Structure 1
Amino acid sequence: MKALNEEERERYQRHLCIPELGEAGQLKIKAGSVLVVGAGGLGSAVLLYLAAAGVGRLGIVDSDVVELSNLQRQILYDTEHLGIVKTELAFQRLHALNPHVELKLYQQRFEKQNALKLMQGYAIVMDGTDNFETRFLINDLCVKSGKPYIYGAINQFHGQVSVFDAKKGACFRCVYPAMPSEEIIAMNKGVGVVGAVPGIIGSIEALECIKILTGIGDPLYGRMILLDGQTMEFREIQIRKQTNCPICAAH
Structure 2
Amino acid sequence: MSLAPAAQRAPLVEPAAELDRGQLARYSRHLTLPGVGQLGQRRILNAKVLVIGAGGLGSPIANYLIAAGVGTLAVLDDDTVESSNLQRQSMHRQQDVGARKVDSVTRLASELNDSVEVIAIPERLSTQNALQLFTDYDLVIDGSDNFATRYLSNDAAEITGTPLVWGTLFQFSGQVSVFDPRTGPMLRDLFPEIPDADSVPSCAEGGVFGALCGVVGSLMAVEALKLITGVGETLSGKLWLYDALNSTVRTLGFERDPQREPVTELGDYQPVLCAVGPAIEQIDAQELEQLRAGGETLVIDVREGWERELAAIPGSTHIPLGRVLDEGWGAIDLAGVRHLVLACKSGVRSQQAAVALSTGAPAVQLLNLSGGTVGWYAQIRGEELTY
TM-score, scaled to structure 2:
0.62
Residue in structure 2 matching 1:32, options 38, 47, 60: 47
Structure 2 residue runs of 5 or longer lacking an equivalent are 1-15, 265-387
Contact kept, 8 Å, 1:170 with 1:248, in 2: the verdict is no
Query: What is the CA–CA distance in structure 1 between the aligned matches of 2:207 and 2:33, rounded to whole Å?
Result: 38
- 2: distance between equivalents of 1:244 and 1:53? 40
- Alignment partner, residue 172 of structure 1: 187
Write the distance in 2 (CA, Å) between the matches of 1:214 and 1:72. 33
With over 3 angstroms needed to count, the CA separation of the structure-2 counterparts of 1:102 and 1:183, relative to structure 1, is: closer
2:149 is the counterpart of 1:149: no
Return the alpha-carbon distance in structure 2 between the equivalents of residues 172 and 108 of structure 1. 23
Counterpart secondary structure, 2:127: coil
| Alpha-carbon distance between aligned partners in 1 of 2:113 and 2:210, rounded to the nearest angstrom | 25
How has the CA–CA distance of structure 1 residues 125 and 82 changed in structure 2, closer, same or farther, with 3 Å as cutoff?
Answer: same
SS, match of residue 206 in structure 2 = coil
Counterpart of 1:61 in structure 2 is 76
**2:115 equivalent to 1:92:** no
Code of the residue aligned with 2:148 in structure 1: it is: E
* Structure 1 runs not aligned, ≥5 long: none
AA in 2 matched with 1:195: G
CA distance in 2: counterparts of 1:54 and 1:187, whole angstroms: 33
What amino acid is aligned across from residue 214 of structure 2 in structure 1? G
Kindly indicate whether residue 211 of structure 2 is the aligned counterpart of residue 211 of structure 1: no
One-letter code aligned to 2:143: G
- Rounded to whole Å, the distance in 1 between the matches of 2:83 and 2:174 is 23
* Structure number with higher relative contact order (C-alpha < 8 Å, ≥ 6 residues apart): 1
2:136 to 118, 121, 127: 121
Larger CA Rg, structure 1 vs 2: 2
TM-score, normalising length: structure 1: 0.95
What is the RMSD computed on CA atoms of the aligned residues? 1.5
How many residue pairs are counted as aligned between the two chains? 249
Deviations 1:182-205 (A, max 9, x none): 441457762011011111011000
1:226 matched to 2:208 = no
Cα 1:186–1:200, aligned 2, differ >3 Å: closer, same or farther?
A: closer
1:103 maps to amino acid: V
Distance 1:182-1:121 versus aligned 2 partners, 3 A rule? closer
- 2:85 corresponds, among 70, 73, 86, to 70
In structure 1, the residue matched to 2:258 is 243
